[in-house]
Amino acid sequence: MKLPIYLDNAATTPVLPEVVEAMLPYFTELYGNSATLYSVGVAARDGVDTARETVAETMNATPDEIVFTSGGTESDNAAIWGIMQANKHRGRHMLTTPVEHHAVLEPMETLAENGFEMNFIPVDSEGRVDPDELAKCIRPDTVLVSVMHANNEIGTINPIAAIGALCRERGVYFHTDAVQTFGKVPIDVRAMKIDLLSLSAHKLHGPKGIGALFVRRGIPVIRFQEGGEQEKGRRGGTLNVPGIVGLGKAAEVVRHYMAEDTERLTFLRERLIAGLQTHLVGVRINGSRTHRLSFNVHLCIEGVDGEPILLGLDDAGICASAGSACSSGSVEPSHVLKAIGLDRETARGALRLTLGHETDAEAIDYTIKTLCGVVAGLRDLVRA
Ligand code: PLP
């Protein structure tokens, strides 16, 4: 078995060899600025155009609706600032959930300190939005609703099509952070009535530092970045051509194995959950059991802290992620775990294991055995 076993695919994913191969010529031979007219520039522009078409196709958008950005964080920021600033005359109210990524929460909080208003749509104990609850939160001055497609910590998938339909009916713009789902879960921006969608290449085996924002044609947003006419004037700055080509290639490759991977990873996810529940006492699975990312396992293990578990796993060659961070001597649950109602004691032993394209059954069985050993060792220490 090849070590390390990488079970942190929600944090980032390895770049596929075919993606690296597609990018390489754009560093060395086709290095032109894509805004120029001579042939190395034109070749770079062709690479960008192809990537734009692939990204658009993957979500049933048109190429002119795709704006390339530096990643998920910029896309989320640009969507929120862009819509709220461009639509001030219509209203200043925006809605989101308490389990969003900080890339959504922080720009909203900053806007709220500067004359806008932000409210939370409640989520249930699985971190899921009920469209009926959202309907109650929409006001005449609501301009934007931002609800993530799937949660990056606990893997819960939201009913995006129902939320989109409701927002369209009520005349409110709908943004979704699809950083954890683009290339993993089928997305159709038309059928799901999405107005703005954020994605990031490094979550789908593409390079880091490149992403995109889908902006439905005709939606008024302010410019993301000033100082150039690139991206039809929406985002100034020389394009990151190799990154964009890498994103396009990654989207092309992953959408071919999306269905197969979903089925395989769902099977492995359930094997991991069942194995841990059989061999460990005091295991609680967080998030939805039915509306869940195929690659996400998020659990709390009673009586132990997440960080020493991570260190124990790392010693055995397994990469994972904790759900609570140690700050000033006490363990602080993430905002997501707090929002789904976990108390500090339960959230201490939070652990996220996220599977990927390379994960196989052998890796899962090794993880079950290793994690049980690490937890037993830590529990012995506590008792001693
Ligand atoms: N949104 C979600 C749901 C994420 O999981 C992440 C990254 O972890 C981001 C936004 C930020 O994306 P990026 O790392 O590309 O800035």
Question: 272-314, pLDDT tens digit by residue?
Answer: 999 999 999 999 999 999 999 999 999 999 999 999 999 999 9
Phi, psi for 207 (deg, rounded to 5): -75, 160
Q: Which residues contact 354 (CB under 8 A, 6 or more apart)?
A: 7, 8, 9, 10, 11, 155, 293, 295, 296, 297, 321
Q: Report, as an integer, the average pLDDT of 321-347.
A: 84
Q: How confident is the model at residue 332 (pLDDT cuts 50, 70, 90)?
A: confident
**Ligand 1 binding pocket mutation candidate from 101, 154, 335 (most atoms within 8 A of CB):** 101
DSSP assigned state of 230: T
Q: Is the CB of 152 inside a 6 Å radius of any atom of ligand 1?
A: yes
Q: Which residues contact 51 (CB under 8 A, 6 or more apart)?
A: 244, 245, 247, 248, 249, 251
Q: Could you give the CA distance from residue 317 to residue 203 in angstroms, rounded to a whole number?
A: 21
For residue range 42-54, what is the model confidence (pLDDT) as tens digits?
Answer: 999 999 999 999 9
CB contact at 8 A, 182 and 203:
yes
The catalytic residue among 137, 300, 319, 326 is 326
CA of 110 from ligand 1 middle (Å) equals 19
- Domain 5-12+257-383: state its class: alpha beta
Tell me the percentage of the chain whose pLDDT exceeds 90. Answer: 96
Instruction: Specify the residue with its C-alpha closest to ligand 1, atom 9.
Output: 72
326 assigned to active site: yes
Answer yes or no: is pLDDT of 327 > 70: no
Q: Could you give the CA distance from residue 58 to residue 330 in angstroms, rounded to a whole number?
A: 44
Q: Is the CB of 144 inside a 6 Å radius of any atom of ligand 1?
A: no
> What long-range pairs does 40-46 form, CB within 8 A, spacing at least 24?
44/239, 44/241
For residue range 98-107, what is the model confidence (pLDDT) as tens digits?
Answer: 999 999 999 9
Q: Is the CB of 149 inside a 6 Å radius of any atom of ligand 1?
A: no
pLDDT, position 324: 63
CATH fold, domain 17-256, is Aspartate Aminotransferase; domain 2 (3.40.640)
Q: How confident is the model at residue 329 (pLDDT cuts 50, 70, 90)?
A: low
Q: How confident is the model at residue 16 (pLDDT cuts 50, 70, 90)?
A: very high
Q: Is the CB of 195 inside a 6 Å radius of any atom of ligand 1?
A: no
Q: Report, as an integer, the average pLDDT of 185-201.
A: 98
Q: Report, as an integer, the average pLDDT of 228-238.
A: 95
CA of 200 from ligand 1 middle (Å) equals 7
Q: Is the CB of 73 inside a 6 Å radius of any atom of ligand 1?
A: yes
CA of 180 from ligand 1 middle (Å) equals 8
Q: How confident is the model at residue 248 (pLDDT cuts 50, 70, 90)?
A: very high
Q: Could you give the CA distance from residue 14 to residue 17 in angstroms, rounded to a whole number?
A: 9
Q: Could you give the CA distance from residue 84 to residue 137 in angstroms, rounded to a whole number?
A: 17
Q: Report, as an integer, the average pLDDT of 133-162.
A: 98
pLDDT, position 323: 75
Q: How confident is the model at residue 325 (pLDDT cuts 50, 70, 90)?
A: low
CA of 198 from ligand 1 middle (Å) equals 9
Q: Is the CB of 148 inside a 6 Å radius of any atom of ligand 1?
A: yes
Q: How confident is the model at residue 384 (pLDDT cuts 50, 70, 90)?
A: confident
Answer yes or no: is pLDDT of 326 > 80: no
CA of 303 from ligand 1 middle (Å) equals 30
Q: Is the CB of 8 inside a 6 Å radius of any atom of ligand 1?
A: no
Q: How confident is the model at residue 331 (pLDDT cuts 50, 70, 90)?
A: confident
Listed by start position, the domains of the chain span 5-12+257-383, 17-256
Output the pTM of the full model: 0.97
Instruction: Specify the residue with its C-alpha closest to ligand 1, atom 14.
Output: 72
Q: Is the CB of 158 inside a 6 Å radius of any atom of ligand 1?
A: no
